[in-house]
Structure 1
Amino acid sequence: MNFKYFLFIFCLLFFSFSFSQEDGNNIKLTALPYYNYGKGVGLTSPDSLFQFNIRFRMQNRISYLKDEDKDAAYEAAIRRLRLRFDGYVGMPEIVYAIQLSFSERDVASGNKEERINIIRDAIVFYRPDKNWNIGFGQTKLPGNRQRINSSGALQLTDRSINNAMFNIDRDFGLHTYYLNEKTNQFSYNIKTAISTGEGRNWTQESDNGLAYTGKVELFPFGAFEGNGSLFEGDITREQKPKLMLSGAYHFNEKARRTRGTVGTLLFDQKNISSLLLDAMFKYQGWSFQAAYLSRMNNDPISVNPDDNTETTYVFKGMGTDAQLSYLFPTNYEVVGRYSYQQPHSDIENLHPTTNQLSLGVSKYIWEHALKLQAEVTNTQLDYLNNNDQSNWYVRFQVEIGI
């Protein structure tokens, strides 16, 4: 089976590299899975053989937290602080992208099981023509829409509870995209990846299991204006209705973590499958998104062989998100999101059923690159033993980037 997979990769690479180069091919970094509004600050060598751009962004926030049965508390933090470098080397068809993170939560330095981990993305892409992207390195897998979108392009201060639980995140491997987006006619993208399955910057014991990801994106009425599928909200005010439907399937063979590429370590390896479905609609300031996410595994409980009283588990279950917003002509936006998360019956005694409702207001000063956000969120946790909880937070956040 492994020989067949590698034969498939070789054939795909041969086919992709055999395309004839189009004259005047304009390599746009926005074809990579990132949202950009500004172009950053950069330079190009006099012989045009090297281009270097640098971008930064940060999220500063303060939150008021009120969890049931706990005293109220305030939390002030630099949620994200990122540097990104991109450009090309030798020719515009060889594109690179590097992203580093520096805030406490981004580098996972507060988790004793993980080392300081600043490298988020480090990948080189070859683009033989305007449709094909062939990448080798570490970046986001083609998973759910909200995860692919930059955290700087969100309408609320963070992604949903279902993204946190079910996303397939970043991994090292071969990433191949065929992009066929057209403005006013049916369009589609096909994205695939074969990766290690262990997540970003894995340096511990290796195995002979890989992860296989495939995704299809459909645009029945044509592509969104200004790469609008890569950011939340209708900040471009689509003049015609635009719709995106997408589905991704991910199989992680011999996964070592509770959520596949992320999570704590399991005591034994598991085969994990994920199904990720998304819909996005935008029209004249209105935006609607919906998502269904699920994770499947036949034996989710992992037992310590040296102490059978110590266990962990694969989060097996499903979740749904629905998000609606409207952007006023003054560039103020109101948004609401409802999320529902249900663990499978195999683990329902270990994890609560969760409902979350968020309401937010944003002021876009320079699109998503400079914005003010306020949010109130209620999370309901329903346990089998009826020890239910209701938790709240109110948050203000400033986002800035170039």
Structure 2
Amino acid sequence: MKIKVLLILFFSTFVFKSKAQEISVPEFGKGILNIQKKDSTFSMNFSARMQFLAISQWEDQNGDLVNSESNFLVRRARLKFKGFAFSPKLQYKIEIGLSNRDIAGGSEFTNNTPRYILDALVKWNFHENFWLWVGQTKLPGNRERVISSGDLSLVDRSLLNVNFNIDRDVGLQLRHHFKLSNSFIVREMFAFSQGEGRNVTTGNLGGYQYTGRIELLPFGTFQQNGDYSGVDFLREQNLKVAIGATYDFNNDAVKSRSNLGTYMKTDTGFHETNISTFFIDTMLKYKGFSFLGEYASRDADNPIAKNADGSLTGDVVEIGNALNLQAGYLFTSNYEVTGRYTNINFNKNITGKGLEEQFTLGVSKYIVGHKLKIQSDISYLSVNKGNDQLMCRLQFDVHF
């Protein structure tokens, strides 16, 4: 509370000094402060969010739960700034991560510094329904990844997303939408990016990454962009469906999961190979019921990294496929019950990994939508090579 008061005082001092801007405090969940110049040439919404997670895990050995582990985490702690500059057609977004999980992954490729920046993006509506995005942000990959981590029906995303998503990168994106009929909407997206993930400072080590996505909404748009939110809070009275497909090609990629994973180093530099990733997904909502389905597949021209003499480095591209199915129902009491099934099937001959299946059941209580909620879930992970696991999680979210 003290931090919020200090921030209000800081921005208020700035505003009153200039006498050319207006400041307001939005309702809970829609930001801490709104600032807009009276001549409408600039605006900013400042918000913050936190997630607190408790997690316990056990190994299942012949029906006995052993090797118990537990952890308490500040899972996410983030600040977000968004608005427009000069004109509402020129928008921006800056999102900064502060928790250890948010900034992890620093290495010589990121200047040995924490990776604070999640999004640093400018969006320009340069002609009718055409938008040009410039900067670092999420690529138009699988739907579950693009859904904000604060808008999920379960505590966190699925194993499909963990192993196959293409996350964030730096580059350009071109987006457009049009109508096939009064209700049928088509969205097209294309991205050109560096291909090595976020906050990389060493320059391009391989080739570039090209991502194309198309989305079909045959029954019109969801209320309040509900096709990118995990719960049907608005209880769509008419069936709404979104179908999306993404193809991603990373030319001469040097990381084991396209623009994610580990760098595949050799005695002469880096192993380079073309990596292709394909997604198809759907979101359905109707009267409190929601369904999310996704399929992912990754392949590579030369998935095994080798030294100059032909010896193996130990690094491989994690090729394979995955299926994720999730359904939930929101009761009028704002409790939701959600079930999820995830199937991960790596190429065992290449990766040394095999089939993994996870079953998850979750219960959530939404106090102020996704902005103030408590979520819990229990998951059982079945691994074909043994070491099955049971996991319980409890998470509290607050978004200002």
Distance 2:106 2:396 in 1: 23
Distance, in Å, in 1 between the alignment partners of 2:303 and 2:383 is 21
More strand by share: 2
Q: Could you tell me whether the CA contact under 8 Å between 1:136 and 1:174 is conserved in 2?
A: yes
Letter matched to residue 174 of structure 1: L
Alignment check: 8 A CA contact 1:142 1:193 kept: yes
TM superposition shift of 1:325: 0.6
The one-letter amino acid paired with 1:369 is: K
C-alpha distance in 2, partners of 1:225/1:112?
A: 44
Provide the residue aligned with 1:282 in structure 2.
285
Aligned to 2:201: 203
Q: Following the alignment from structure 2 to structure 1, what is the Cα–Cα distance between the partners of residues 210 and 358?
A: 31
Alignment match, 1:342: 345
Counterpart-to-counterpart distance in 2, 1:277 and 1:89: 35
Shift of the alpha carbon at 1:352?
2.8
Deviation at 1:53, TM superposition (A): 1.3
Determine whether 1:325 maps to 2:328. Answer: yes
Aligned residues: 362
Name the structure 1 match of 2:382. 380
Q: Which deviations, in whole Å up to 9, do the C-alpha atoms of 1:291-334 show, x marking residues without a partner?
A: 10000112211134489353111110000000011000000000
SS in 2 for 1:185: coil
Instruction: Name the CA shift for 1:286/1:173 in 2 (closer, same or farther; >3 Å).
Output: same
Indicate conservation of the 8 Å contact 1:300/1:346, yes or no: no
Contact 2:205–2:254, Cα closer than 8 Å, also in 1: no
* SS of residue in 1 equivalent to 2:67: coil
SS of 1:227's equivalent in the other structure is helix
Q: CA deviation at 1:37?
A: 6.2
Asked whether 1:54 is paired with 2:75, we answer no
Q: For 2:82 and 2:340, how far apart are their aligned partners in 1?
A: 33
Q: Share of identical aligned residues, percent?
A: 36
Q: Which 5+ residue runs of structure 1 have no aligned equivalent?
A: 1-35
* Structure-2 residue corresponding to 1:71: 67
Query: How far 1:160 sits from its partner (Å)?
Result: 0.5
Where does residue 166 of structure 1 map in the other structure? 164
Residue aligning to 1:85: 81
Cα RMSD (Å): 2.2
TM-score normalised by length of structure 1: 0.85
Give the 3 Å change call, closer, same or farther, for CA 227–182 of structure 1 in structure 2: farther
- Describe the shift of the 1:217–1:40 C-alpha distance in structure 2 as closer, same or farther (beyond 3 A): farther
Equivalent position of 2:296 in the other structure: 293
Q: In the superposition, relative to structure 1, how do residues 51 and 205 fare at CA in structure 2: closer, same or farther (>3 Å)?
A: closer
CA distance in 2 between partners of 1:183 and 1:371 (Å): 38
Distance in 2 between residues matched to 1:354 and 1:167, nearest whole Å: 17
SS for the counterpart of 1:226 is helix
Match for residue 139 of structure 2 among 141, 148, 151: 141
- 1:381 shift after superposition: 1.3
Shift in CA distance, 304/42, structure 1 to aligned 2, threshold 3 Å: farther
d(CA) in 2 for partners of 1:110 and 1:273? 26
Aligned with residue 311 of structure 2, among 308, 313, 336? 308
Partner-residue secondary structure (3-state), 2:261? coil
Structure 1: how far apart are the matches of 2:181 and 2:284? 15
The Cα offsets for residues 9-29 of structure 1, whole Å up to 9 and x where unpaired, read as: xxxxxxxxxxxxxxxxxxxxx
Matches within 5 A, 1:88-107: 88-107=84-103
Q: 2:260 aligns with which of 254, 259, 262?
A: 262
Secondary structure of the residue that 2:196 maps to in structure 1?
Answer: coil
Cα distance in 1 between the residues matched to 2:187 and 2:123: 17
Superposition deviation, residue 182 in structure 1: 10
Tell me, yes or no, if the aligned pair for 1:181 and 1:222 is still in contact at 8 Å: no
**Rounded Cα–Cα distance in structure 2 between residues aligned with 1:177 and 1:84:** 22
CA distance in 2, matches of 1:200, 1:175: 15
By how many angstroms is 1:98 displaced? 0.6
Q: Give the aligned partner of residue 366 of structure 1.
A: 368
* Superposed displacement of residue 134, structure 1: 0.6
Query: Which residue of 2 is the match for residue 229 of structure 1?
Result: 227
* Residue in 2 that maps onto 1:251: 249
> Take 2:127 and 2:76, find their aligned partners in 1: how far apart are those partners?
34
